Amino acid sequence: MGKAILIVEDDAALRSFFSLILKEEGYRIEEAGNGREGLDKIKASEYDLVITDLRMPGLSGLDLLREGKKERPESRWIIVTAFGSIDNAVAAMKSGASDYLTKPLRNPEELRRVIRRVLKEAESEQTISLLAEELGKQFPPLEMIFLGEKMKEVRRLVQEVAPTPASVLITGPSGTGKELVARLIHQWSPRKTGPFIAVHCAALAETLLESELFGHERGAFTGAVSSRKGRFELADGGTIFLDEVGEIPASMQVKLLRVLQEREFERVGGTRSISVDLRFISATNKDLKAEVFQGRFREDLYYRLNVFPIELPPLNERQEAIMDLADFFLKKYAVAFGKKISGFAPEAVSALTGYTWPGNIRELQNVIERAVILASGRIEPEHLNLEPLEKPTDSQEGLLLQEEKNLIQKVLSEVGGNRKQAAKVLGISIRTLQYRLKEYDLS
């Protein structure tokens, strides 16, 4: 059933004209001849959109907007005003109208276009709200994710590319929220009812990665006692997200390129060609152009993945977002741990805003979680444990890496090789531990 639209207009001819055009578009239309009648209808029924003339006898369009917003805050509003009364339209926009039209209309398409855009924006915001609710326990609210001028541009790019089938490459430092942005693109796309399948390429050995992506047939290798679908098949009709795509081995890159070009592949050990309908979103914290130049990443694959690039800025370039995010995490963990924390001491605020945040939002979240555990009353600088990082020399860096390798080996030995338990003891994610095991050749 079409969207419900209420037309409030004292000019009967114009009201009928609007009604005729919009009924042809499939909308459910109701009419009111004045502001008072319009308000009664708003109180009695729900409307996706209200179109009202600004100047009407009795209850004006502006007063109707203000009263109607109190009754139905979720409804969208379009104001119709005479050409030359733009100031009144601006006042209506400040009171909550989504857009305005000037009469006489140039053509019916102008009305159709404005209504389509306003209703589409309403659907997008509803989707954002639902997604924020779905991810609220794990991520900050979306308005916080997009705080700052640089993130406003990111949001614009996400909204532009989401409805298209274009492949997207999301770049930026670790901890900036690349997977969240990928999920948003999927959620705002026509594929939102399909699956979103994430593959963390760095966490899997080459042979395992091939089986994970393409699936395998029974007997394809030792231990393959039955056939198994891969991630590409599981993502059919939806989106595949390749995180840390720069870690894919050269031998796998040519196979991935074929899937990107033809949307076809064979399972490991199989001969039957399988076709899939999926969208590719990839992410990396590497400079893939440099990887191409150095021969570690295929140039043709890079251009296939990088149809629409989105770059996420580091947290230290979003100073205005730091304290809002910190407050969000403070409230989240205070509730989770049953603690009453009044806020941050001024010195703690200075420490948070003056820190460089090499781990970005993920590091900020971890720092605040630890601080809430330690604090009582309010968070002081000593609860944050923030120390300025100095870039180590090559020899120092080598020693640090060896120490980290030794520590990982020691912890793994103590927990009997249980990676999940080892990651918990080390204070890192299982994904990070798997990446380190691969990097140090400990797997």
Q: Where in the chain is the domain with CATH 1.10.10.60?
A: 394-439
CB hemisphere CA count around 263 (13 angstroms):
14
Q: Where in the chain is the domain with CATH 3.40.50.2300?
A: 4-124
Per-residue pLDDT of the chain (443 residues; tens, 9 = 90+): 578 999 999 989 899 999 999 998 899 999 999 999 999 999 988 899 999 998 888 898 889 998 998 888 888 999 888 766 667 777 778 778 888 888 888 788 888 988 988 888 777 666 555 555 554 444 556 667 787 788 889 999 999 999 999 999 999 998 898 998 999 899 889 998 889 999 988 877 777 888 889 988 888 777 777 788 889 999 999 999 999 999 998 889 999 999 999 999 999 888 888 999 999 999 999 999 899 988 899 999 999 999 999 999 999 898 888 998 899 889 988 988 888 998 999 999 999 999 999 989 889 989 999 999 998 889 999 999 886 544 445 555 565 567 777 788 877 887 788 887 777 767 676 767 777 787 777 76
Burial bucket for residue 317 (CB in 10 Å: 0-12, 13-18, 19+): middle
- The strand pairing partners of 168, in sequence order, are 281, 308
Q: Does domain 315-384 have CATH number 1.10.8.60?
A: yes
Specify the DSSP class assigned to residue 165.
Answer: -
- The strand pairing partners of 379, in sequence order, are 344
In 83-200, which ranges are continuous DSSP H helix? 86-94, 108-135, 142-145, 149-161, 178-187
Whole-angstrom distance, CA of residue 73 vs CA of residue 66? 10
29: tokens are 């239309």
Whole-angstrom distance, CA of residue 110 vs CA of residue 282? 38
- Does an H or E element contain 78, and which? strand 76-82
Q: Where in the chain is the domain with CATH 1.10.8.60?
A: 315-384
Q: Are 256 and 248 in contact (CB under 8 A)?
A: yes
Q: Helix, strand, or coil here: 417?
A: coil
Could you tell me the fold of the domain covering 4-124? Rossmann fold (3.40.50)
Distances (CA, A) of 177 to 199, 203, 423: 15, 18, 21
Q: Does domain 394-439 have CATH number 2.120.10.30?
A: no
11: tokens are 């000019």
Could you tell me the fold of the domain covering 142-311? Rossmann fold (3.40.50)
